[in-house]
Structure 1
Amino acid sequence: MKFTRQADAQWKGNGKDGKGFITTGSKVLEHTPYSYNTRFEDGMKGTNPEELIGAAHAGCFAMQLSVLLNAANFTVTALNVSASVNFEDGTITKIILNLEGNVPDIDAEEFQQIAHEAKTVCPISKVLHTEIELKILLKNT
């Protein structure tokens, strides 16, 4: 499978006082604001590159894990993934993926093994050159 996805960013003004807008090819984000304030100060309405990377990574990982679990003959009830993107001195230093899963009939050891494989083969994990930590909670009822 081969495809290309598109996203566009517009920026006006200098780094600290300027502002911009992000639009994705799907238009899910359309003219979404981002700025120095949305990136480095809390409480501002808008997005930032780090949360977009976190969203992409969490979504990609969850989908990859679901595919691998299905290939191992497990059916996912729910996978909830959050990504914490740590930024320090101009560098993304670490991403922590917090995984909570509900997958009937799987034991914790096999779930962890498949989750770690998903972390390794996830396309977004592969493109990021930072430490990626995975925290796992299996919640079977």
Structure 2
Amino acid sequence: MKRNATAVWNGELKTGSGKISTQSTVLDNTQYSFKTRFEDGVGTNPEELIAAAHAGCFTMQLTAYIGEESNEIESIQTKCDVNFEDGAVIGSHLTVEAKIKDISEDKFQELVTKAEKNCPISKLLNTKITSSATLV
């Protein structure tokens, strides 16, 4: 399986702008710019897209591991914060809230750590990845 996205940029870095589109068209000429990356502009940026990919991938991986344990999942919500400093992505932090029937705190934390290490996006990222998780 292969997926793709396309970015087009016009103009200088600080005054120009770009458009990002995905194969699925979920993003279709979505605006991004210097302001959306480094200031408070309207649109997306690469780090936000990485955060979305990491949150989604991790949540699916955790769901798979919990399902293997035959626990009933009511919901899993993951927020991903990607840290960008001095021109580099320096970390990704996953904050998880989950409603799972009949799972111990220890087992839940074990599966969170396993998913953190093994989801395909975690493996792709060459950065420190951390998480915190709460059963509610």
Normalised by the shorter chain, which TM-score bucket?
Answer: over 0.9
Runs of 4 or more off by more than 2 Å in structure 1?
none
Name the structure 1 match of 2:34. 36
Structure 2 counterpart of 1:98, from 95, 110, 115: 95
- Alignment RMSD: 0.6
Name the structure 1 match of 2:3. 5
Deviation, structure 1 residue 80: 0.4
Structure 2 counterpart of 1:14, from 12, 15, 38: 12
- Counterpart CA distance in 2 for 1:48 and 1:71 is 35
Name the structure 1 match of 2:108. 111
Deviation, structure 1 residue 51: 0.3
Name the structure 1 match of 2:49. 52
Fraction of identical pairs, as percent: 45
Give 3-state SS (helix, strand or coil) of 2:134's partner: strand
- Counterpart CA distance in 1 for 2:22 and 2:89 is 22
Deviation, structure 1 residue 76: 1.0
Deviation, structure 1 residue 130: 0.7
Structure 1 unaligned regions, length at least 5: none
- Counterpart CA distance in 1 for 2:132 and 2:58 is 13
The count of residues paired between Structure 1 and Structure 2 equals 136
Q: For 2:19, give the aligned amino acid.
A: F
Structure 2 counterpart of 1:77, from 70, 74, 79: 74
Show CA shifts across 1:79-121 (max 9, x none): 0000011111001111110000110100100000011001111
Q: TM-score, normalized by length of structure 1?
A: 0.95
- Counterpart CA distance in 1 for 2:66 and 2:55 is 16
Q: TM-score, normalized by length of structure 2?
A: 0.98
Give 3-state SS (helix, strand or coil) of 2:73's partner: coil
Structure 2 unaligned regions, length at least 5: none
